[in-house]
Amino acid sequence: MKTTSEHPVAPEEIMAFFDGELSAADAQAVAAHLDGCSACASLVSQFRGLSQSLTRWSVAPVSQKLENAVNDFAAKASAKSKTRKPSEPFRRIGGVAIDFSIWNWKLWAFGGMSAVAGVLVGIIFLLISYEHRPAQQNMAMMMSQNRGEETAGYAPPEPLKDRMNNSLSAPYAMATQAPSSGGAPMMNAGVGGSIGSDAESAPIIARTASLTIIVKDLTAARTLLDAMLAKHQGYSAQLTVRSAVSAPRSLTASLRIPASDLSNAISDLKTLGRVERESQSAEDVSQQHTDLAERIKTARATEERFRSILQQRTGKITDVLEVEESIARVRGEIESMEAEQKGLEHRVDFATIDLQLREEYKEEIAFTFADFSMSFHNAFVAGYRNVAETVTGIFLFLVEYGLSITIGLAILFSPTFFIWRRYRKARSRI
């Protein structure tokens, strides 16, 4: 809006003066001008008249129904806010999971699935935190009682008991306690110990452990490892040493240690360096062993019957040969099953430790200009190839589907345009 020598105040400022939006100094200047300018004073009168006209646009009072509905809802919300507080850990986990997911959606490179999983985890934790807080406490009490019952029978040492309760399965927990208990599981029969009938009711456990250890000197650690294997009467089923350029040296081994000595062996291994990862597991092979024993027993009985037939009966040569073939077949099956049984017993007698030793490694700068120029060249060629493939791909896509897309768009254009016009028209009137 314009100001002139006759009207040094812009009309918009007069309106702002009317609305009380000017600073004190500006308001004073405008008021002084209005005193001597009838045109500008008329503008103010016009604004005032307009406001007065608009006051006639009155609105009916709010209905009682609305008041009741809102008040009811507010009362419920107020009561909930007093009683339902989320339990802090679950609320935090839920919140973090959802925050991460929202952030993750923005980075599609990390994948939508992880974001969905994060949202689900977050919602689950939030629901748990809101709905099952008393249940959590009950559950915690029940769990502590159950743990008490489980451990009461054989009372393991305190540190081991904690680990067992927290992470190990019942068979493993029982197996680790066997030396001090009467009903010994078969894995504790010692090296070469047979799985006898006195222990038929006891579980047969095959134990495995996995360790990743960072050592300072791999050569020294290898020597100590050999000494430790000799000490525990174990052996290395498989061993690989890697020594690549610009990478730390590493040793991967599958160790077999007498099951009764597994805990000591793991303790000794941990002295080699810093433990980066450790896990232990126990597999119950009782059912498998019993099945094998029964099958061997049946096969032996069958073999015995064939032999008695061969000794007592006489007949044609072909019949005799047929019986001998049957005996040979059954014998082969028995030997195969016995080998399998021995292997199973060996797995039980000798626990497996999957060991990985990695040497501490300090990365060194090994950069030469030749490397860079070659890498740059390769990157440039790869980039050129990618651009060419992309452009070609787009071109081929358009050639293949362009006509179909154009026809589809042409078909959709008319109804879309019609709906869009109606939508715009409705928006302008609503």
Partner 1 sequence: MDSTSRRSSAAEPAGECSDEELMVAFSRGSQDAFDELFLRYKQPLFGFFRRRVADEAQAEELTQESFLAVIRASSRYQPSALFRTYLYAIGLKILSAHRRKAAFRACFTGLPDAYREPAALGNLETEYVLRQAVGILDQLEREILLLREFEQLSYAEIGELLHLPVNTVRSRLFRARLALHNLLAAPAPTSSAEQARIEERA
Per CB under 8 A, the segment of 69-77, 154-162, 209-217, 287-295 that binds partner 1 is: 69-77
Query: What residue spans of 215-316 are helical by DSSP H?
Result: 218-231, 262-270, 286-312
178: nearest Cα among 197, 210, 196, 205: 205
User: Are the C-beta atoms of 231 and 268 separated by less than 8 Å?
Assistant: yes
Write the CB contacts of 239 (distance below 8 Å, at least 6 apart in sequence).
Answer: 251, 252, 253, 254
At 59, phi and psi to the nearest 5? -125, 140
Instruction: Pick from 25, 66, 107, 245 the residue near partner 1 by CB under 8 A.
Output: 66
Among residues 8, 31, 32, 45, which is the contact residue for partner 1, using CB under 8 A? 45
Host H or E run for residue 75: helix 64-83
Q: Quick one: which of 39, 116, 140, 142 contacts partner 1 (CB under 8 A)?
A: 39
Those residues whose C-beta lies under 8 Å from the C-beta of residue 203, and which sit 6 or more positions away, are 171, 174, 175, 185, 186, 284, 286
Closer residue to partner 1 in complex, CB, 58/312: 58
Give residues 294-353 in contact with partner 1 (rule: CB under 8 A). Answer: none
Q: How far apart are CA 213 and CA 99, in angstroms?
A: 35
- Applying CB under 8 A, does 399 fall inside the site for partner 1? no
107 touches partner 1 (CB under 8 A)? no
Beta-strand pair 235-242/350-359: unpaired
Nearer to partner 1, 40 or 272 (CB): 40
**One-letter identity of residue 3:** T
Q: Are the C-beta atoms of 251 and 218 separated by less than 8 Å?
A: yes
**Residue 283 CB, nearest distance to partner 1 (Å)?**
50
Binding status of residue 412 toward partner 1 by CB under 8 A: no
Q: Kindly indicate which of the ranges 68-76, 160-168, 327-335, 366-374 contains the residues binding partner 1, using the contact rule CB under 8 A.
A: 68-76
Contact with partner 1 (CB under 8 A): which of 31, 32, 78, 343?
Answer: 78
Sequence-distant (6+) residues with CB within 8 A of 228 are 265, 268, 269
- Interaction of residue 369 with partner 1, rule CB under 8 A: no
2 to 21, contacts with partner 1 by CB under 8 A?
Answer: 7, 11-12, 15-16, 19, 21
CA-to-CA distance for 102 and 119, rounded, in angstroms? 8
DSSP state of 13: H
Contacts of residue 122, Cβ cutoff 8 Å, sequence gap at least 6:
93, 94, 95, 96, 97, 98, 101
> Near partner 1 by CB under 8 A, which window of 232-240, 268-276, 389-397, 422-430?
422-430
Residues 260/348, Cβ–Cβ less than 8 Å: no
Q: Would you count residue 57 as binding partner 1 (CB under 8 A)?
A: yes
Residue placing its CB nearer to partner 1 in the complex, 73 or 395: 73
Helix (H, G, I), strand (E, B) or coil at 316: coil
Quote the least distance from Cβ 121 to partner 1, whole Å: 22
Residue from 28, 46, 146, 290 binding partner 1 (CB under 8 A): 46
User: Beta strand 350-359 with 205-215: parallel, antiparallel or unpaired?
Assistant: parallel
Does 34 bind partner 1 (CB under 8 A)? Our answer is: no
Q: Using the rule CB under 8 A, which residue among 61, 157, 159, 192 binds partner 1?
A: 61
Asked if residue 233 binds partner 1 (CB under 8 A), the reply is: no
Of residues 11 and 248, the one with the C-beta less far from partner 1: 11
Q: Give the binding range for partner 1 (CB under 8 A) out of 33-41, 265-273, 379-387, 404-412.
A: 33-41
Q: Which is nearer to partner 1, 60 or 410 (CB)?
A: 60
- CA 119 from centroid of its chain's CA atoms: 12
Nearer to partner 1, 19 or 322 (CB): 19
Pick 91 or 300: Cβ nearer partner 1: 91
The least CB distance from residue 75 to partner 1, in Å, is 6
Does the protein bind partner 1 through residue 416 (CB under 8 A)?
no
Residue 114 binding partner 1, by CB under 8 A: no
Q: Give Cα separations from 297 to 36, 186, 213, 302, 338 (angstroms).
A: 125, 20, 45, 9, 10
Residue 413 found at the interface with partner 1 (CB under 8 A)? no
Structure tokens at 5: 């020598």
Question: Can you read off the two tokens belonging to residue 76?
Answer: 């419920």
- Does position 422 bind partner 1 by CB under 8 A? yes
CA pair distance 119, 115, nearest whole angstrom: 6
Q: Which is nearer to partner 1, 20 or 159 (CB)?
A: 20
Best CA proximity match to 95, nearest among 133, 125, 134: 125
Q: Does 74 bind partner 1 (CB under 8 A)?
A: yes
Size of the site for partner 1 (CB under 8 A): 52
Q: Which residues bind partner 1 (CB under 8 A)?
A: 1, 7, 11-12, 15-16, 19, 21, 38-40, 42-43, 45-51, 53-63, 65-67, 69-71, 73-75, 77-78, 81-82, 419, 422-423, 426-430
